[in-house]
Chains A and B, each alone.
Chain A
Amino acid sequence: MLSQDIAKEFESIVGASNCSMDDAILYVYSFDISDVTGRPDIVVRPSSTEEIARIVTTCAREKIPVIPRGAGTGATGGAVATSGGVVIEMTRMNKIIDLDLSNLQVTLQPGVVIDRLNQFLKPHKFFYPVIPGSDAMATIGGVVSNDASGMRAFKYGTAKDYMLGATVVMPDGSIVPIGCKALKNVAGLDLLRLFAGSEGTLGIITELRVKILPLPITKGVLTVYFDDLETAGTAVIRTYQAGIIPSAIEIMDKSALRVVQIYRPQAGVQVAEAMLLFEFEGNKEYVEFQASKVGEVLDALGITERQFSSDPKEAERLWSARSTVGAATSVLKEGYNRVYEGEDICVPLTELPRTLLKVHELQEQHGLDCVIYGHISIGAIHPAITIRKSDKDDWVAMKALADDIHKWAIHVGGTVTGEHGIGVARKEYIAQMYPEAYEIMKKIKHALDPDNIMNPGKMF
């Protein structure tokens, strides 16, 4: 329980209207999209690096847990105050500070929403390529802190690949600038890559400088329908073997396609065992060339059900349907709703075909419905489990299914999380994945945050 004196101290830093211990506020900030919950003692909404440094200095002195939070769209409990403390909500810090087109970079605050950044860059014909499905609401601070990626990860990489600089408030309240303006930098240990994906456990990123890229001249999308999941997985591997690197390859299984038909009928998808959505970028000729090469791959696999379009509106229709299919899975069966567990595995490409089958086999074993979609281009699969939220047995079965999915991913040499992070939800698996490396991570954590005040209970 936080003392009134400490609360007053926070209030004096951020102002009374940006500091709350109101029961309604504390309750609403007890969640992210996972089923992890935890009520903070106080929520503050700072507007500057200096304010955050002062807040953290107080927390360091008083050994109060500090939980950074963006839009609260994380899926692991990463922004949830599982042991009380101060939730620092970053959404007021949403300014784009500087655009340096000549140096391909933009400086901004962590509360900027990804889609807003890209809308800002669009007239300049540039974009920030780290575009998760939640780009309409996810903040760049959260995206970087979880090293998120999204639908174009195979071609464009993940958030850490675009980090050029950052200002970090360390666990003792000191302010540390990291990186430089050069596009390439190997001076010393790569702290940018350490903080990207550290889930707020090592410090708080309060300002970022990220690399941006020119927008592609044009795009084309190829939708392909498959009679079996396994062939869809094989098609991805064969595409790369044919020398083609699409900007995205997304998968939706039969259930996911049904979801889209209900939620976004205007997308015009058909129902099949699986659909792959390929996206190609370049000039018109190159886009068509890539599509034709993938066409040859598909012909060889005997897949003829496909459609190519270079119409941006058609592409937008398909992408908007795909980007929210995860949250839309609740529409599939009345009374059965989406929970986020076991939802972010990533496996080696060669393991994709049997992993797709395995997830279906596991869901049947546990008697639960599971919609599969994901960034198959990179082996990332999002199994979306739906349950009756009021049914305790469903929760037990769901936990068991998620556990089996995670264990399978580790078994085939993959990971329990490709982009959503560890947080609380997947903490038990990190030591299973790499026990020795995890010990080193813990030493780094202890060296930087000896009192364990930065987002305690997450990852470590």
Chain B
Amino acid sequence: MTLEDLRPILEKCARCGTCRAKCPSLEANEEGTPGWDVFGPRGRMELAYGLLDNKVQPTKMLQDGIFTCFFCNQCVVTCPSLANVTDVVLETRRYLAEQGNAAPQVLKAHDTINESKNMFGLDQADRVELWSMDVSDLVEDHVGKPAPTLFFVGCQGSFKGDLVSIPVRVVQILDKIGEDFMLLGEDEMCCGNPLELTGGAEDSVRELAEANVGKIEAFGVQQAIFTCPGCYRTFSNVYPKLLGRELTFKPMMFSEYLLGKIKDGTVTLGPIDGLGKVVYHDPCELGRHMGIYDVPREVIASIPGIEFVEFKANRENCNCCGMGGGVAIHDMKVSEFQARNKARDIEETGATVVVTHCPACFQGLAKSCEIASTSGVPVEVMDLAELVAKSLGIV
């Protein structure tokens, strides 16, 4: 896709401003009031149009406007003209980045992924060891050993200290179920999602797609399990387009896998003592992008005695946590402002546990919970895998 390819989408925009009503980035600022129009979807559409027709300069403000979209897809879901605003944002980011008109940290992130094959610039050889130190006995026999089920750990779970409990719980649960699963180990590469979101070259994403898919298919994998909706969406939607064919294995979120096991009677969840009121946060890339709302809720509802509440804005209306769209790479402050806005949603629910199903959301919500906790009741964030592990008595 090129900027010119965006013209039909841009022409659809009637500038009606319906998208303003729900866009989180418009109010992700110090005051929490509507910001400059360039920070909303309508403004971003105009900026793309202006770039296309050479009517606006790629200033720092323009970069800020384009690179602070959380990719939450609220604008796409609500657009009366059915204009795919997020497609416009991603292509415009790519256009700007190609010309070097992106923040240095964004361009550096591209280089890091291209060179290291992961988003943290760490040694691929450490992909398994870093997160699996406490469960090495459950892991070592599964790395590179062909099996029908693959657990694709993802960069965040593999390398980020506060997120390693997610893959740990997953392998503990898979082990308890007796699932014949495998891990790619150091052959697992970044899925390319952070590149795609922040304007990285399409060829770079394709290269990662070819590498990941090539390995997985060579092992004869039938289903690949994800705990990161970013990886899941990339495998499900982006890879087939880039590779020009369907994958031979089925990507699925861990919740989908679990629900299947709950429904066929393989897994029976037990009660969790002292959990308190639980609310579920819909990750943008899982909900609005992939349409998965019910599955995680059904898994949670399978836990006996669970006290479940909803956000006032839930499912397709759920507000972003602030960690979407690679905004944190461009400007962490903007993400933190949104985490503060999300804290208000959490406080409204009276929940003590915010469950999510995404490592990026986990980090955003951790900040939100910290803020929400200052109002009195402590609130903690928990990944769905952790909740299920508790329910199974693993932890």
Interface presence of A25 (CB below 8 A): yes
* Residue of B12, B31, B55, B60 contacting most chain A CB atoms (<10 Å): B12
Interface presence of B7 (CB below 8 A): yes
Please state if A73 and B34 are interface contacts (CB–CB under 8 Å). Answer: no
Interface presence of B17 (CB below 8 A): yes
| Binary contact readout B1-19 vs A (1 if CB under 8 angstroms, 0 otherwise) | 0000001100110111110
Question: Which residues of B, 13-61, contact A by the 8 Å Cβ criterion?
Answer: 14-18, 20-21, 31, 33-34, 36-38, 42-43, 46-47, 50, 55-57, 59-61
Please state if B65 and A24 are interface contacts (CB–CB under 8 Å). Answer: yes
- Whose C-beta in chain B lies nearest to the C-beta of A338? B14
Kindly state the interface size class of chain B when it binds its partner: 20 to 34
Interface presence of B393 (CB below 8 A): no
Nearest chain B CB to A398 CB, angstrom units: 14
Nearest chain B CB to A259 CB, angstrom units: 9
Chain A residues contacting B46 (CB-CB under 8 Å) are 27-28, 31
Task: Select one of B7, B42, B55, B80 contacting A263, CB under 8 A.
Answer: B80
Chain A residues contacting B7 (CB-CB under 8 Å) are 390
Chain A residues contacting B8 (CB-CB under 8 Å) are 335
| Binary contact readout A323-359 vs B (1 if CB under 8 angstroms, 0 otherwise) | 0111111110001011010000000000000000000
Number of interface residues of A (CB under 8 A): 43
Question: Which residues of A, 67-120, contact B by the 8 Å Cβ criterion?
Answer: 71-73, 89, 91-92, 94, 111, 113, 115
Interface presence of B355 (CB below 8 A): no
Chain B residues contacting A330 (CB-CB under 8 Å) are 12, 14, 80-83
Please state if B21 and A113 are interface contacts (CB–CB under 8 Å). Answer: yes
Give A71 to B82 CA distance when docked, in angstroms: 21
Chain B residues contacting A31 (CB-CB under 8 Å) are 15, 46
Chain A residues contacting B57 (CB-CB under 8 Å) are 23-24
Give A101 to B46 CA distance when docked, in angstroms: 42
Please state if A136 and B11 are interface contacts (CB–CB under 8 Å). Answer: no
Give A136 to B20 CA distance when docked, in angstroms: 8
Question: Which residues of A, 211-237, contact B by the 8 Å Cβ criterion?
Answer: none
Interface presence of B62 (CB below 8 A): yes
Please state if A326 and B16 are interface contacts (CB–CB under 8 Å). Answer: yes
- Whose C-beta in chain B lies nearest to the C-beta of A27? B56
Question: Which residues of B, 185-214, contact A by the 8 Å Cβ criterion?
Answer: none
Interface presence of A253 (CB below 8 A): no
Give A400 to B374 CA distance when docked, in angstroms: 62
Chain B residues contacting A115 (CB-CB under 8 Å) are 21
Chain B residues contacting A262 (CB-CB under 8 Å) are 82
Chain B residues contacting A436 (CB-CB under 8 Å) are none
Chain B residues contacting A331 (CB-CB under 8 Å) are 80-82
Interface presence of A29 (CB below 8 A): yes
* Residue of A22, A32, A92, A328 contacting most chain B CB atoms (<10 Å): A22
- Whose C-beta in chain B lies nearest to the C-beta of A139? B34
Please state if A23 and B81 are interface contacts (CB–CB under 8 Å). Answer: no
Chain B residues contacting A136 (CB-CB under 8 Å) are 18, 21
Please state if B17 and A73 are interface contacts (CB–CB under 8 Å). Answer: yes
Interface presence of A134 (CB below 8 A): yes
Question: Which residues of A, 120-164, contact B by the 8 Å Cβ criterion?
Answer: 134, 136-138
Given contacts A25-B61, A73-B17, contact A263 B82 (CB under 8 A): yes
Contact sample, A vs B, 12 pairs, CB 8 Å cutoff: A22-B61, A23-B57, A24-B47, A28-B37, A28-B50, A31-B15, A33-B14, A72-B15, A111-B33, A263-B80, A263-B82, A326-B14
List 7 A-B pairs, minimum CB-CB distance, nearest first: A328-B80, A327-B16, A24-B62, A327-B80, A136-B21, A324-B80, A91-B34
Interface contacts beyond A25-B38, A28-B38: sample of 14 additional A-B pairs, CB < 8 Å, sorted by A? A20-B61, A22-B61, A24-B56, A28-B46, A33-B14, A91-B34, A324-B80, A327-B80, A330-B14, A337-B11, A337-B81, A338-B81, A340-B14, A390-B7
